[in-house]
Amino acid sequence: MKSKSRSASWKLNERRVCEELGCERIGITGMATTDGVNSKLSIETKRSKSFPKYLTDAVAQSARNATDNRVPAVVLHYHNIQHENDLIFFRVKDFKRLIEEITGESTFAKDEE
């Protein structure tokens, strides 16, 4: 049986991610739904005790090498998969900065009802 704190940790992660990105947390609905939404994003949150070292190294390298106020990003390509299906990794703070620069919005506040 899971401890109360362990079973609640994924909920806390969802709440924190949704708050950080200005999303409404959907929570458990009994159906397959997204974890959080706003007018532009549909968020699926996952948590892990660790990430693959090659990925954390790549994110750190990207951050070190980002110059002239560029946003660091890592593109992960799987062999024999079309590039349009590659995955792009950003740190949350870099993702927020990119979106804010593109949209001109200064915050990730939750959408007004």
Measure CA 57 to chain center: 18
The 3-state DSSP composition of the chain as helix, strand, coil percent (nearest 5) reads 40, 10, 50
**Buried (b) or exposed (e) across 17-36, using 16+ Cβ within 10 A?**
bbeebbbebbeeeeeeeebb
In a domain, 109, yes or no: no
Is 26:36 a contact under the CB 8 Å cutoff? yes
Q: Please report, as a single letter, which amino acid is at residue 95.
A: F
Check whether residue 10 and residue 39 sit in a common domain: yes
In a domain, 87, yes or no: yes
Domain count of the chain?
2
In a domain, 54, yes or no: yes
What pLDDT, in 10s, does the model give residues 55-106? 999 999 999 999 999 999 999 999 999 999 999 999 999 999 998 889 887 6
pTM over 0.75: yes
Tokens, residue 37: 């939404």
What domain range includes position 60?
48-104
In a domain, 75, yes or no: yes
What pLDDT, in 10s, does the model give residues 35-54? 999 888 999 999 999 999 99
Reported confidence tier of residue 4, pLDDT bands at 50, 70, 90: low
Check whether residue 39 and residue 85 sit in a common domain: no
